[in-house]
């Protein structure tokens, strides 16, 4: 049993390492962070309490990608919720890496859904082709955890006091990979296959900073139980 558990942990770690390597964008075209800029805006906030000391703030984000390169960019229409969520007191502090809230994300995937099949050209139902300067907009959810008692807050540890902040997210532009999908064709293969159409975006892109506030008073029902 112990050997089986160690093997499963090793395989899980190996899968994560392969995913991270695939997202680095070491192909023949430019890294994704040089292809796209990302702008976010918090368009809605709702709340629910986890326990008597903390609450979840659910943020709906308007996420806009801008082709900042000189070539067309192939971008997935499907964008998963942000992989990185971090909060600073102001954009200047965030630019220095001084974040008040920057929890580590953890995945727990029981079963990988099957990914789509990819042809010789990008499917326009799955991908958008952005000309230089062109934009693509979508809505994505994210959340932060707040503390009812400011004394419970520890910098960077996953709790925010009530107040005004600036949010930054990191979004993977290629969802058809672990931990979201089980696919047979890698993004690196598709970069080569589709290079004549444009540069395929597959990496992590960080947004600019968007202001938001955790107010002193709000509707705060109990969070629904997760299945």
Q: 86-119, pLDDT tens digit by residue?
A: 999 999 999 999 999 998 765 555 566 677 889 9
| C-alpha distances in Å from residue 101, one per residue of 43, 62, 74, 151, 166 | 20, 21, 32, 15, 10
Do 28 and 192 form a contact (C-beta atoms < 8 A)?
yes
Residue 175 lies in a domain: yes
- Per-residue pLDDT at 148: 82
**CA separation for the pair 189, 186 (Å, rounded):** 5
Evaluate the omega torsion of the peptide bond into residue 179 and state whether it is cis, within 30 degrees of 0: yes
Residue 36 belongs to some domain of the structure: yes
Alpha helices in 118-205 (DSSP H): 187-193
- Residue 203 domain boundaries: 2-214
Low-confidence ranges of the chain (pLDDT < 70): 1-31, 105-113, 151-152, 154-157, 178-180, 182, 226-227
| Amino acid 159: pLDDT | 87
Task: Check the CA dihedral 85-181-186-120 and report its sign.
Answer: negative
**Taking phi first (over 0 means left), then psi (-120 to 50 degrees means alpha), and beta for anything else, what does residue 184 get?**
alpha
* Within-domain flag for 221: no
- pLDDT at position 154 is 67
pLDDT of residue 75: 98
**Inside any domain, residue 147:** yes
**CA nearest 167: which of 207, 205, 198, 221?**
207
Length of the chain: 227
Cα distance between residue 141 and residue 61, in whole Å? 6
78 domain residue, yes or no: yes
- Pairwise CA distance, residues 85 & 79, whole Å: 15
Assign 3-class secondary structure to 121-176: CCCCCCEEEECCCCEEEEEEEEEEEEECCHHHCCCCCCCECCEEEEEEEEEECCCC
The answer to whether residue 226 is domain-embedded is no
Q: Is residue 163 part of a domain?
A: yes
The reported pLDDT for the residue numbered 22 is 41
Q: In terms of Cα–Cα distance, which of 19, 113, 23 is closest to 76?
A: 23
Q: Determine, yes or no, domain membership for 225.
A: no
**How many domains would you assign to the chain?**
1
Distance of alpha carbon 47 from the chain centroid: 21
């Amino acid at each position: 049993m112990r050997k089986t558990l160690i093997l499963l942990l090793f395989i899980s770690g190996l899968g994560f390492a392969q995913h991270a390597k695939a997202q680095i964008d070491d192909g023949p075209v430019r890294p994704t962070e040089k292809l796209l800029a990302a702008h976010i805006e918090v368009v809605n906030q709702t709340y629910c309490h986890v326990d008597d000391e903390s609450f979840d703030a659910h943020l709906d984000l308007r996420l806009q990608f801008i082709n900042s390169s000189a070539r067309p960019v192939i971008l997935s229409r499907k964008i998963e919720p942000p992989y990185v969520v971090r909060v600073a007191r102001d954009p200047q502090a965030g630019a220095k890496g001084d974040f008040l809230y920057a929890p580590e994300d953890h995945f727990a995937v029981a079963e990988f859904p099957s990914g789509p099949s990819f042809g010789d050209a990008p499917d326009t139902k799955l991908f958008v082709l952005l000309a230089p300067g062109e934009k693509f907009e979508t809505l994505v959810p994210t959340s932060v955890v707040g503390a009812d008692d400011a004394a419970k807050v520890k910098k960077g540890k996953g709790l925010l006091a009530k107040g005004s902040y600036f949010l930054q997210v990191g979004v993977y532009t290629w969802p058809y990979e672990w931990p979201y999908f089980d696919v047979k064709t890698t993004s690196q293969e598709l970069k080569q296959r589709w290079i004549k159409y444009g540069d395929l975006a597959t990496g992590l892109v960080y947004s600019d900073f968007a202001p938001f506030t955790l107010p002193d008073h709000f509707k705060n029902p109990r969070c629904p139980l997760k299945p």
